[in-house]
Chain A
């Protein structure tokens, strides 16, 4: 099967900085693909390489089997939703949406119909004649989405699409984007630094660090089986256990990830069930976060974080506790990095 987007050993340098460093990647047609990483990790540059705003210094990019390196953005059947939306201020909402159609010479009547349909699809029916300055952030986001989708792109690129929205709106847009992607069947590639967003929206995630992909896989895969300290730390929060601690507490002699929600907090005399491991310690901090409470427990020289449902136990700072977790929850990692 032909990949929607294929990177082969792609590099992009800015001066001495290797923004994208020898990245090989295949995105399948119809995927909702997330590029996740801290700022400066190369994820946005990868997106811009797909869009054609950047050209690779090395390697090859193809889009649905066609060589894309050297092809300018206006000759690619790929559309982008920009981080700042980049709506044209001198055009109405309808004209913005119809821009791509106007450029490719679609007749006025047809492009007006199509723009209308696209706006209805993003639930902005009847907004055609508004000026973009009159719209809220969430509405601009939808216009930008309609403007990209009206051209029927083979791949839709989204650059931090929800970054500027408030929490409630962000959750709503996450749902809408997901159902839109499912309905249209278009390959979506989106860039985010929000791991929650990546895990909840995408069906595959690539984690970027220092211009390289450090791990790619399904959200479950990434979360349950992080391959490196970086991934364990960046995706969700995790207890990264030293090889010594891990090997003496039911694991192997490797750096090991243990998710806080896998750890049960019990009284010091609690029995440790079979295939479980334990550590005794003292609560040094309690951090109430609403849906969960995070307890920081010092066990010997190691600090462990456990998250428990609110109201469980009535723990207090200084209490001695026994932490118990299934051995299977300990994920040994390949890399030291």
Chain B
């Protein structure tokens, strides 16, 4: 203990930087405060502030005759949300988001499991590259590429026809609700593109969660008599669940709010994102757009609350 005391008493240190670093070492709270102030201001004013402004807008209403916003507190905008057409938009979006999330989880799990448990060195680098690379190219380009792939004259139909398997596509398109004139004009197409676009956001957190499960847990489970299937459901799955929940927060909320994919690939029925886009743009109905925006936030709130109740975050 005597060495640092001797140093600070010697008076040999000088200069502004040294003095400054001495001050910070002696008062760590000061440094924390300085480091936190800019991001806190950003989050407080720019982020939470604009959210609050949005929330406020949703309690105003639109005057039907003048087309002007009436800045008085009312719940009439939220009542509008409950009209049948709007409820359909909400239900359609939530169902789509749930199915996309489920599909992402089912497809991502084996990939993440392989990457976490078996891939080593070069294979692991290749894995990261393969997962991340689609994220480096423009979202719009990918969606338009999918539109071409799924189009009636597109490569998918072409391949299916040459393999004499076009009846599969025809059969899918003939199905009620999810079918349509072609894959790129159906819910199937919207679903496929969503799954493709969001799946990296599911794989990465699941892989990170699985990476933290030591091999000895699996051995211990087997040692205690559990067959691989039992080990999966009793050890691997519960420990991967926080990762799956984290991934599903991405896939679910991104799908809830997206307005580009359903517009480019899909039928003409609106999803929440498109409704927001239309109401705040051409229709000029900011209050209703704001109310629509609140819907995904409320849904996500319930979703996280439910996940917590189910113990998904107990391992964290």
Residues in B with CB closer than 8 Å to A288 are none
How many residues of chain B are within 8 Å of chain A by beta carbon?
A: 20
Residues of A in contact with B, size category: 20 to 34
Q: Are B239 and A73 in contact (CB under 8 A)?
A: no
Give the docked Cα–Cα distance between A151 and B235 (Å): 18
Q: Are B230 and A103 in contact (CB under 8 A)?
A: yes
Partner of A86, one of B216, B226, B311: B216
Say if the beta carbon of A79 comes within 8 Å of chain B: yes
Residues in B with CB closer than 8 Å to A82 are 216, 219-220
Give the docked Cα–Cα distance between A150 and B144 (Å): 60
Which residues 34-59 of A have a CB within 8 angstroms of B? 51-53
CB distance from B243 to the nearest CB of A (A): 13
Say if the beta carbon of A190 comes within 8 Å of chain B: no
Say if the beta carbon of A147 comes within 8 Å of chain B: yes
Residues in A with CB closer than 8 Å to B235 are 88
Say if the beta carbon of A72 comes within 8 Å of chain B: yes
Say if the beta carbon of B284 comes within 8 Å of chain A: no
Say if the beta carbon of A253 comes within 8 Å of chain B: no
Residues in B with CB closer than 8 Å to A314 are none
Say if the beta carbon of A80 comes within 8 Å of chain B: yes
Q: Are A86 and B214 in contact (CB under 8 A)?
A: yes
- Interface-centre pick from B221, B223, B226, B235 (highest chain A CB count, 10 A): B223
Residues in A with CB closer than 8 Å to B217 are 86, 88
Give the docked Cα–Cα distance between A306 and B220 (Å): 46
Q: Are A89 and B315 in contact (CB under 8 A)?
A: yes
Q: Are A84 and B214 in contact (CB under 8 A)?
A: yes
Partner of B225, one of A84, A90, A104: A104
Residues in A with CB closer than 8 Å to B238 are 90
Say if the beta carbon of B314 comes within 8 Å of chain A: yes
CB-defined A-B contacts under 8 Å, sample of 30: A53-B222, A53-B223, A73-B219, A74-B222, A74-B223, A74-B224, A74-B227, A79-B223, A80-B219, A80-B220, A82-B216, A82-B220, A83-B216, A84-B214, A86-B214, A86-B219, A86-B220, A88-B217, A88-B235, A90-B239, A90-B311, A99-B234, A100-B224, A100-B225, A103-B225, A103-B230, A148-B223, A148-B224, A151-B224, A151-B225
Q: Chain B residues in contact with chain A, CB under 8 A?
A: 214, 216-217, 219-227, 230, 234-235, 238-239, 311, 314-315
